[in-house]
Amino acid sequence: MAKSAKQINPKDNVATLLADCASGEEVTVNMDGKVSNYACLEDTSYGHKIALVEIAKGEPIVKYGETIGSATKDIKVGEWVHIHNVRDDYLCLDKYGKPLPGQSL
């Protein structure tokens, strides 16, 4: 049986692996009945994410239908998406949209 990954929202460009996957292994994603297959590009662990589309450097990473960070490199379909190729862009902002003190990205 092919291994699967969970895509939570149709807008998401990543899915979370539900089992450890080896490089080249096939992964199935079932989004509300629409089944798609992907090839895992490298060994990737359970709970980690793979890209469902090409994501260019600087583009948003989308999970739960929301932006969770941005790509720091071009990411290929099936590639592992984690801290080595994603930047956390979150800043705690004041009422005027200015970052509160003590933060850097």
Return d(Cα 61, Cα 76) in angstroms, integer: 13
Stretch that binds other proteins, among 1-9, 35-43, 51-59 (CB under 8 A): 1-9
Is the torsion defined by CA of 101, 60, 51, 4 positive or negative?
positive
For residue 9, how far is the Cα from the chain centroid? Answer: 12
Closest to other proteins by CB, 54 or 87:
87
Residue 48 amino acid letter = H
68 touches other proteins (CB under 8 A): yes
59 touches other proteins (CB under 8 A): no
Q: Figure out which of the listed residues 1, 33, 56, 92 binds other proteins, where binding follows CB under 8 A.
A: 92
Residue 28 amino acid letter = T
Q: Binding residues for other proteins, per CB under 8 A? A: 4, 6, 8, 16-18, 30, 45-49, 61, 63-64, 66-69, 81-83, 86, 88-90, 92-94, 100-103
